[in-house]
Amino acid sequence: MTEDSTNPAIAIVGMSMWSPGAHDLQGFWENVLARRMQFRKFPESRMSLDDYWSASPDDVDKTYADRGAFMDGFEFDWVGRRIPERTFKSTDLTHWLALETALGALTDAGYSRGSVPTGRSAAIVGNSLTGEESRMWSMRLRWPYVKRALAVAAEARQLDSSVADALAETMEEVYKGPLVEPSEDTLAGMLSNTIAGRICNYLDFNGGGYVVDGACASGMLAVATAAEKLASGAADFVLAGGVDVSLDPLELVGFARLGALTRGDMNVYDASRSGFIPGEGCGFVALKRLEDARADGDYVYATIRGWGISTDGKGGITKPRAETQAEMIRRAYSGAGFAASEVAFVEGHGTGTPVGDPVELAGVQQAAQTDGPVEARSIGMTSLKSLIGHTKAASGILALIKATMAVNQRILPPLAGCTDPNPAFGTEAPALFPLVNGEIRDSSEKMRAGAQAMGFGGINCHVAIESADAPSSKLTPSQDVRTMMASYQDTEVFVLSADSAVDLATRARDVADLAVPLSVAELLDFSAKLSRVISPTAPFRAAVVAGRPAQLAERMRQLAVICENSAPASGQARW
């Protein structure tokens, strides 16, 4: 492949994100380096497992998955942003999350609302299905159907008509109570296609604003679309991103019917792959043509050198094809100035599904060997989903941000949850290897990588990137990089102390209750906290080893039973 680039280089001059476990660039990068997995049990505030969970995969109205990766702490300052209260309350959270994150990328690029050029600036957003609040609003409008169903049920049970009418009146109040009343802002606030328009409205962008829906490839497609817009000269500045806050029954029951969710851990590119854990998040990048960024004196995290899109054609709506994925990659590198075989790593789609992972690995291999044989184990494979699950419409943009951070810092980012590599690495994809431990390169090295995402309907998108300026200090971790990457372990030790066996049992049960809502990443923090409060002189002490919150809770309850039934008497032995 020629070293001459036919694509104009697109500069990534700003980034911002919200994801499970992080809402700033440094924290996000630290989580990647330390492999902090954000999976936790579904909180009752998001979805009642009593209502929607079933161990049986044949329960058609239920999901068999009980974990997800959730964002914490996002609150939109509608007063500070001067948004009318009625508009704020009548609008799905995805709009405000996207706006706030887009503004973060704008700020990171060195602009403010008042200083950014508006005439040829655009916003392109990847999203599917808006968010959970839009579906709650639609429930309110279904009240007539519910009322008719109630009337039929009352008649079948031979309820007195006055009792049935009173029941319906009370039920309407209860049913509609938590649901926002429709207003002049509701329709625009609940539609996906106005998310980008809201960003353009707030910033007075005149260069175009619209939503790209390619399901789980949406965020990556938004970037490719933005790059094309900049390359053609149709825009000079673009905020491109993706947002997904949709962890509700519509998607979770639907994915369960497909068999795409895992009942266990999410093992990406692993032989024991069994599906994905769902997540949520939002990310944005600020893009310019490289020549404009240089003229403006901008810092450049990395450059986008190529982008490619393909569809699986007759392969099927949900069944991927290695051949068409390989074609997507070839198109991305056809004008990039370097070959697919020259990337240090690929930030993959990596859903951990039995079919998807080996097909993806085969597609990367086929594209890499387009110009001839490729050295064995020369291209690393990694996936952000191993840490935050499948964030669907936001997965592509968050993957690109991770890959951009990696080439900027000249680090091959580690992969979590892969202990027994997929057999495809040794058969269909010998040029690839799972980036289990990560790798640090020289800070002056030119590093290249690819990032890709695939979505329902057979849509595929790949973006080729290359390091640009010296590593950004904004991403410098709070601890030594080697230490952070080496700190990962599968289990943690949890220590307890007490003055009596009864007190130790009580303590163990308290710890079990505290463990249930924790994420996997928080186990390390919890272990450290317990170790700081243990008494070295307490006559009763115990330690439990666990690697998952549910496992910790179960073992702590077992410890409590042991303490109550078979603990040694005080003074006989330390235990």
Is the Cβ–Cβ distance between 214 and 457 less than 8 Å? Answer: yes
Label the pairing between strands 209-212 and 237-244: unpaired
Q: What is the pLDDT of residue 6?
A: 85
**From its phi and psi, is residue 21 left (phi > 0), alpha (psi between -120 and 50) or beta?**
left
SS3 238: strand
Q: What are phi and psi of 333, to 5 degrees?
A: -100, 0
Instruction: Return the structure tokens found at 244.
Output: 């997904």
Q: How many CA atoms lie within 13 A of 427 on its CB side?
A: 7
Cα 481 to Cα 401, 440, 471, 478, 574: the distances in Å are 18, 9, 13, 9, 39
Pairing of strands 237-244, 302-311: unpaired
Q: Return the ∠ at Cα 23 (arms to 17 and 25), rounded to 5°.
A: 65
Residues 6+ apart with CB under 8 A from 210: 124, 125, 193, 196, 197
Pick 12-133+186-481's CATH classification: 3.20.80.10, 3.40.47.10, 3.40.630.30, 3.40.50.970: 3.40.47.10
For residue 426, report the phi and psi dihedrals to the nearest 5 degrees: -100, -5
Q: Looking at residue 501, what DSSP letter applies?
A: H
Cβ neighbors of 566 (< 8 A, separation 6 or more) are none
Alpha carbons 572 and 575: distance in angstroms, whole number? 9
User: Among the residues of 417-500, which ranges form H helices?
Assistant: 481-486
Q: Which residue has the tokens 């207003």?
A: 183
Residue owning tokens 């403010």: 112
Q: Is 388 left (phi over 0), alpha (psi -120 to 50) or beta?
A: alpha
Q: What 8-state DSSP symbol labels residue 430?
A: T
- At 2 the pLDDT is 41
| Structural contact between residues 56 and 62, judged by C-beta atoms closer than 8 angstroms | yes
Give the closest residue to 435 by CA, choosing from 475, 474, 485. 485
pTM, whole model, 2 decimals? 0.96
- CB 502, CB 564: distance < 8 Å: yes
Nearest-CA neighbor of 195 among 393, 401, 461, 463? 393
Q: Are 404 and 253 in contact (CB under 8 A)?
A: no
Q: What is residue 447's predicted lDDT score, i.e. its pLDDT?
A: 98
Helix (H), strand (E), coil (C) string for 133-193: HHHHHHHHCCHHHHHHHHHHHHHHCCCCHHHHHHHHHHHHHHHHCCCCCCCCCHHHHHCCC
Q: Two tokens at 218?
A: 């949406």
In 3D space, the residue among 462, 469, 465 whose CA is nearest the CA of residue 409 turns out to be 469
Give pLDDT, residue 318. Answer: 82
Regions of the chain short of the pLDDT cut 50 = 1-2, 573-575
Residue 269 identity (one-letter amino acid): Y
d(CA 524, CA 513) in angstroms, rounded, equals: 17
Q: How many Å apart are CA 21 and CA 74, to the nearest integer?
A: 11
Give residue 568's pLDDT.
67
Q: List the beta bridge partners of residue 289.
A: 10
**CA–CA gap between residue 515 and residue 30 (Å, rounded):** 23
Domain ranges within the chain, ordered by starting residue = 12-133+186-481, 142-176, 490-566
With beta carbons less than 8 A apart as the criterion, state whether 386 and 17 touch: no
Within 13 A of 444's CA, how many CA atoms are on the CB side? Answer: 0
